[in-house]
């Protein structure tokens, strides 16, 4: 029983383990919600490991960042960085913020790629070094918690602005270019699920509101992916024809 308890400890608290396997109360509402939240949280973390890879592959394969707004990427990276540093400082469970770690890495790669394929090689190097320095300071423990809380609050308008910039870019182009549909929809579902896990595991109003706004903003881009689907296919085919 102790071995089984250890194996399930990643998604079951000691109290819920006792409730399920010692008291045989499998319908305890709070424990059911807690377990679902943990499992969902780790599923989101696992999905985040590769969530931006389709987008990165599209940019690399086409050697183009058409339709991908660099400003939008920077604002998204800012929002992820705030969430990541704030969560670590508050010692929230890994299941509630682990996805931000993997997103942080992938969005940084996207930013560097956009600069490289825009011919701005020096700027790409400067950006990477500068961002690494900023992240080090935020995670060093030297940044006061109240400052990190303010950064997390500023995360909300950053998320909305990032998606609005991307939405406006797509509207002006009349298509979604190299934006990956897989990445867009996985991001939408992930942010929606995070509302539940944040309510259940952190109870932090800043975190909850951040994910609510993020979900609404992601829904706008998801809608555009559907609305401009045929126009995007036509654009990509014409680009392939020109390349050939």
Q: Could you read off the pLDDT of 52-86 as tens digits, one per residue?
A: 898 899 889 888 887 788 888 998 899 899 989 99
Distance (Å, rounded) from C-alpha 204 to C-alpha 89? 13
Q: How high does pLDDT run on average in the chain?
A: 88
**Within 10 Å of residue 99's Cβ, how many Cβ atoms?**
29
In this prediction, residue 243 carries a pLDDT of: 56
Count of helices and strands (H, E) across the chain:
11, 0
What confidence category does residue 237 fall into, taking pLDDT thresholds of 50, 70 and 90? confident
In this prediction, residue 179 carries a pLDDT of: 85
In this prediction, residues 85-108 reach a mean pLDDT of 91
Which of 128-142, 170-184, 229-243 is the least confident region? 229-243
Q: Are 189 and 132 in contact (CB under 8 A)?
A: no
Distance (Å, rounded) from C-alpha 106 to C-alpha 104? 6
Which of 2-6, 47-51, 184-188, 192-196 is the least confident region? 2-6
Q: Is the pLDDT of residue 160 over 60?
A: yes
What confidence category does residue 242 fall into, taking pLDDT thresholds of 50, 70 and 90? low
Question: Nearest 5°: CA angle at 216, between 75 and 206?
Answer: 70
Distance (Å, rounded) from C-alpha 194 to C-alpha 208? 8
In this prediction, residue 185 carries a pLDDT of: 92
Q: Is the pLDDT of residue 177 over 90?
A: no
Cα torsion through 114, 45, 81, 194, rounded to 10: 110
């Amino acid at each position: 029983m102790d071995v089984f308890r250890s194996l399930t400890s990643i998604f079951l608290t000691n109290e819920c383990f006792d409730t399920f396997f010692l008291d045989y109360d499998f319908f305890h509402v709070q424990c059911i919600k807690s377990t679902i939240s943990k499992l969902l949280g780790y599923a989101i973390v696992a999905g985040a490991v590769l969530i931006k890879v389709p987008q990165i592959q599209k940019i690399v394969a086409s050697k183009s960042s058409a339709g991908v707004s660099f400003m939008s990427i920077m604002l998204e990276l800012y929002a992820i960085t705030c969430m990541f540093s704030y969560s670590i400082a508050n010692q929230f469970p890994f299941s509630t913020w682990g996805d931000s770690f993997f997103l942080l890495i992938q969005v940084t790669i996207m930013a560097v790629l956009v600069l490289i394929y825009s011919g701005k090689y020096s700027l790409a190097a400067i950006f990477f070094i500068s961002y690494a320095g900023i992240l080090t300071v935020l995670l060093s423990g030297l940044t006061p918690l109240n400052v990190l809380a303010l950064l997390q609050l500023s995360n909300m308008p950053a998320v909305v602005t990032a998606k609005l910039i991307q939405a406006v870019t797509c509207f002006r182009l009349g298509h979604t270019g190299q934006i990956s549909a897989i990445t867009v929809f996985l991001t939408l579902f992930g942010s929606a699920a995070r509302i539940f896990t944040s309510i259940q595991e952190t109870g932090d109003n800043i975190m909850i509101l951040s994910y609510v706004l993020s979900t609404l903003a992601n829904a706008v881009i998801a809608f555009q992916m559907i609305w401009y689907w045929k126009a995007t296919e036509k654009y990509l085919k014409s680009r392939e024809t020109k390349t050939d």
